[in-house]
Amino acid sequence: MNMRTARPTSTRRLTSLTAAAVAVVASLGLTACGSSGADVATQASGIVIEDPWVKEADSGMTAAFGVLRNDSDTEAVVVSATSPSTSSMELHEMAPHDDGDMVMRAKKGGVTIPAGGTHTLDPGADHLMLMDVTKPIKAGDTVTVTLTFADKSTMKFTAPARTFAGANEDYQGDDKSGTDMSEMGDE
């Protein structure tokens, strides 16, 4: 009977030792992340963007472009994008509409950058759509974009704005009528 009273003390000591060990492991993990992090590679860590740019726009929709390059040996998939310059952002692709014209629409499944390869975001091809700019974006302004990958890792880049006459594609919204955004706000 008396031996039982000793148990809680030793159990508690064991628990606190375990907690200390966990804390040490956790701090080692943080140190590893802070250095080169070769063994904790994320999808974002292998990606760079070359020649990023955004089309100048006073209001409404515009788009961001560039060449995503994957220097890792693992495929990376961009699943979403955000920017303080727009209220929302979508990943877009070009596809033929029912009438045969090419329209842009949300790219389901995200944008894949193959291992050791590139994926070009270009007017007339895949692009990052700023759905409604929060204030005019003038040539020379800088737009910040954050990409989120399938593994939830993120990558931030800045893109200068340019004057560009193209990239005026019709937008195929969820109602697939190719309507413009202003009609969606009717209440």
Does the protein bind Cu ion through residue 104 (CB under 5 A)? yes
CB of 57 to Cu ion, least distance (A): 12
- Cross-strand partners of 37: none
Does the protein bind Cu ion through residue 92 (CB under 5 A)? yes
Does the protein bind Cu ion through residue 129 (CB under 5 A)? yes
Residue whose CB is nearest to Cu ion in the complex, by number: 92
Nearest to 76 by CA among 43, 33, 105: 43
Q: Please identify, using beta-carbon distances, which residue of 92 and 119 lies nearer to Cu ion.
A: 92
CB of 20 to Cu ion, least distance (A): 53
- Cross-strand partners of 176: none
Strands 111-113 and 118-121: unpaired
Nearest to 104 by CA among 82, 124, 78, 130: 124
Q: Please identify, using beta-carbon distances, which residue of 115 and 125 lies nearer to Cu ion.
A: 125
CB of 167 to Cu ion, least distance (A): 8
- For residue 41, the one-letter residue type is A
Q: Please identify, using beta-carbon distances, which residue of 86 and 148 lies nearer to Cu ion.
A: 86
Q: Please identify, using beta-carbon distances, which residue of 42 and 147 lies nearer to Cu ion.
A: 147
CB of 127 to Cu ion, least distance (A): 5
Does the protein bind Cu ion through residue 49 (CB under 5 A)? no
Q: Please identify, using beta-carbon distances, which residue of 37 and 124 lies nearer to Cu ion.
A: 124
Strands 154-162 and 47-55: parallel
Rounded CA separation 117/83 (Å): 25
* C-alpha distances out from residue 7 to 3, 19, 120, Å: 7, 18, 65
Would you tell me which residues interact with Cu ion (CB under 5 A)?
92, 104, 129
